[in-house]
Amino acid sequence: MTCRILLVLALTLLGPISAPAQESVDVAKWLDESEQALTKVDNYTALFHRVEFVDGNLLPEEVTFLKFKQPFKIYFRWIKPSKGQESLYVEGANNNKLKAHTSGLVSFVTVNLDPKGSKAMQNSRHPITDAGLHNLVTKITSNMRRAQKSGEFVAKDHGEQTVFGRKTRELEGILPKDASKGYYCHRCVVNLDLETKMPLKTQIFDWDDRLVECYGYERLTLNPGLTDKDFDSKNPEYHF
């Protein structure tokens, strides 16, 4: 059997060989482009996917319909679980309280909550005031730049990946595996949309290399023309 036949047979048995991650990627450039793109985004909608590690458990995925508008206005309607639950927060309005109601038989009961209180923070690692693309990108870039300045940052490029039917560039940032240094996490994997530069999926790993946060923006629509009516609890489409 010739060497060429042996090589073909070996490749057939092994299957396709994926390219290794590249470690020379300029993550700063990609995130700078994302920050610049966000300066042109006043409002957006999306199906928001959220998985978080809370009280020792990785909770089941939540999917909500999200509306966001600058300055900080945000609305959520749950799709799963707790279908029909809604939350609304408008910075500076309603005494800076979160307006919410649960799903089910008592869905007509609307409450106003401290967004950083235990009731509003139940099953969540962050208050609603930390939500949204702008806060997410700011958190990632601030940690990355600090680590780069200290010579403690490793970047990897995992190439093009499809996320929610969109072509993205998957980038990984690795920070010191030492919580005492004050970084937000040990590893962060971000999928940036090749066209819009938006982070469609972000995975956060702690210092035990455990997934603690995963956020996804499916069907992300930028600047659809949301108005104050979209963030008014008296909107007839809502059930507050």
Confidence of residue 141 (pLDDT cuts 50, 70, 90): very high
Domain assignment present for residue 100? The answer is yes
Q: What is the 3-state secondary structure (H, E, C) of 37-55?
A: HHCCCCEEEEEEEEEEEEC
Domain assignment present for residue 7? The answer is no
Q: What angle do CA 91, 97, 98 make, to 5 degrees?
A: 90
160 vs 210: CA distance, rounded Å: 24
pLDDT at 66: 98
108-126: b or e for each residue (b if 16 or more CB lie within 10 Å)?
Answer: eeeeebebeeeebbeeeee
Domain assignment present for residue 20? The answer is no
Domain assignment present for residue 92? The answer is yes
Question: What is the total count of domains within the chain?
Answer: 1
Domain assignment present for residue 226? The answer is yes
pLDDT at 197: 97
* pLDDT tens, position by position, 61-109: 999 999 999 999 999 999 999 899 999 999 999 999 999 998 665 556 8
CATH number, domain with residue 39: 2.50.20.10
Lowest mean pLDDT among 18-22, 98-102, 134-138, 233-237: 18-22
Domain assignment present for residue 142? The answer is yes
pLDDT at 18 over 70: no
Domain assignment present for residue 176? The answer is yes
Domain assignment present for residue 6? The answer is no
List own/partner pairs for 164-168 with CB under 8 A and 24 or more apart.
Answer: 164/200, 164/201, 164/216, 164/217, 164/218, 164/219, 166/193, 166/194, 166/195, 166/200, 167/193, 167/194, 167/195, 168/192, 168/193, 168/194, 168/200, 168/201
User: Whose CA is closest to 204, among 174, 169, 180, 163?
Assistant: 174
Domain that holds residue 115: 27-231
Average pLDDT of the chain to the nearest whole number: 89
17 vs 179: CA distance, rounded Å: 35
pLDDT at 26: 81
Name the pTM for this structure. 0.88
Confidence of residue 183 (pLDDT cuts 50, 70, 90): very high
pLDDT at 55: 94
Confidence of residue 188 (pLDDT cuts 50, 70, 90): very high
